[in-house]
Chain A
């Protein structure tokens, strides 16, 4: 399953860091961050609960870049 979320982040490198952080989150099969469109597309593992996984993704993103937001 794939879902797209709106995000807010200031710098391009931070967006890349968010992408890495999201990818490493459990339950996430793949993630891409589009800095120019300010969107994050997340592909979930089969059976993962998107709402719960996204909470974790947001937490991990906040660790690498404090000044970011994912609108869930």
Chain B
């Protein structure tokens, strides 16, 4: 009983009403079936009309309106014809039952669709309901729509961040799992940017808003996911066309069956043209009408896509349309940018090597380099300083004097009264310093020291490179396992660096030292190669950080932007957006898409298959109306349940 009340709680008024009518009609039908009414045909007919109208009055009304509006292939009209026909033929039970089961199917469909709508909005539960606006020292709860850019809002622990902004006060950790699928919380401090949709977990935050509510991340993502269904996939277009063609075709065949069946029988087999013959064929034709509703297929396909897109977004993968879901499932060539995609995009000191002849350890080399570069704003310089300070020592700038920057080469400074030069090979050549080449790949900063105004001698070097993401290699091998034929890296970086990265993560092909326009020509070439080798059905995807590769994202069959959280440009430019920058998400996205497409195909062929089987059996007189309506409703239930599976993507 509890279960029943729970079930009915979730139904809306219309659905509850329909459920009651179905139950009432079913009970009446059973009673009428048992009652011995065979001797009173008129009474029997009239009694059967009660459950018939109870369960089907709205269908009949709609059918009638359909006739007035010249909508002959309206499914209500067809159901009405089929059931009224059955009643006229004296098959009362079947007439009522067909209507009954048709309504059960409608009810089930409406419940299932409503339920998956709800579970997706639960998954996408990032819409903030309110914002705590601080005005003149007082905090007021307001609609996030009303908060202007530059306002101060307060976010308490447990609350959702309503609008993108910058923390002005407070420390806390944020849970971004609803946005990225990443469960590790992110620590924030004053000065950090935070994005709407994440949940404040520990401390009170005061935030200055930087965007309006509509422009904030959470609103953008929601809009994107909700509108994804509008870009229809090929299979959806196929189904829409099929539905438009299927219903009239079945109806005309039914008409043909009802007339030609008896005529052929009479003419070719010399059967008597009596009522029994005609009623048999009319019955078969009515069976056709029962199967003529294409709803099972029509509902299950968009439902599967909706589920797939919703499920993916809960994992931090935004797919901007059903059509992109299809392309994603067919990715055979994957072209990637290096910086920010395979590598982290931030420079780190990866090695410090001391020169062979000197009695100096690597810590000292790093220290001298960091001090010499202490005033430089170059990213290389700051990475050296970071590496030095990571040892827990503050950089003492007072030890440094007489700093002289040699543009494009490096820096010469006096540290603790000794002359230090730190820079690239060109600087060393300019100062006539002998140094050894490094077998490591990356940017090398050579360090030399000596007396002020005296000759300098080489003491060692610091290697700085862009770190490869920890999951890159794994992601590439998983991609290959998932059937991606070729992985290619395009980069503007120097060849030696690019090749070492490519080798380490296991890429098939690498093109380095490219200008942005070279990337476009390379992708065009690869598309041609893919079309020649894998056929035009296979897709080429380009993965980039979405910031300066918009033209490449646009010409690829599928553009994937990663690490897009907070970057509007990337979200605009790409077809598929990965909210965080984990390359493993690429494989996950492909797997989710494959699962979704598989479900769509299963549904299409299963539904069409069963319908055609029923049509053949019905035409042969093997399948009766009972079987037809069971098959019809059953197929829909199975297809809808199968479609709902697309929502579960946690472990694909």
Contact = CB atoms under 8 A, between A and B. Distances in A.
A65 B13 CA distance: 20
A14 to B, nearest CB: 9
Nearest to A4: B227
Interface in A22-55: 32, 34-39, 41
Contacts of A64: 69, 71, 74
Contacts of A39: 226-227
Interface of A: 10-13, 16, 32, 34-39, 41, 63-67
B226 A37 contact: yes
Given A37-B229, A66-B65, A13 B298 contact: yes
B110 A67 contact: no
B298 A16 contact: yes
B302 A13 contact: no
Contact of A13 (B65, B117, B295): B295
B230 A34 contact: yes
Interface size class of B (residues with CB under 8 A): 20 to 34
Given A13-B75, A66-B66, A41 B298 contact: no
B71 A63 contact: yes
Interface string B220-254: 00000011011010000000100110000000000
6 contacts: A11-B298, A12-B295, A12-B299, A16-B244, A35-B113, A36-B302
Contacts of A11: 106, 109-110, 295, 298-299
B559 interface: no
B242 to A, nearest CB: 11
Contacts of B294: 13
A14 B116 CA distance: 19
Nearest to A12: B299
10 closest Cβ contacts across the A-B interface?
A12-B299, A36-B306, A34-B229, A12-B298, A13-B298, A63-B69, A32-B230, A37-B226, A66-B65, A36-B229
Q: Kindly name the residue among A10, A12, A16 whose own CB sees the greatest number of chain B CB atoms within 10 A.
A: A12
Contacts of B306: 36-37
A35 B66 CA distance: 21
Contacts of B240: 16
A16 B298 CA distance: 9
Given A16-B240, A16-B243, A66-B66, A36 B230 contact: no
B303 A36 contact: yes
Nearest to B305: A36
A67 B230 contact: no
B275 to A, nearest CB: 36
A10 B69 CA distance: 19
Contacts of B74: 64-65
A65 to B, nearest CB: 8
Given A35-B229, A36-B113, A38-B117, 6 more contacts: A11-B106, A12-B295, A13-B298, A34-B230, A37-B227, A39-B226
Contact of A10 (B110, B229, B244): B110
A14 B117 CA distance: 18
B227 A34 contact: yes
Contacts of B229: 34-37
A31 B475 CA distance: 40
Nearest to A11: B295
B62 interface: yes
A35 B240 CA distance: 13
Given A10-B106, A64-B71, A66-B65, A35 B302 contact: yes
Interface string B57-75: 0000010011001010011
Contacts of A32: 230, 232
Nearest to A39: B226
Nearest to B306: A36
Contacts of A34: 226-227, 229-230
Interface string B316-338: 00000000000000000000000
A71 to B, nearest CB: 16
A41 to B, nearest CB: 6
Contacts of B293: 13
Contacts of B62: 66-67
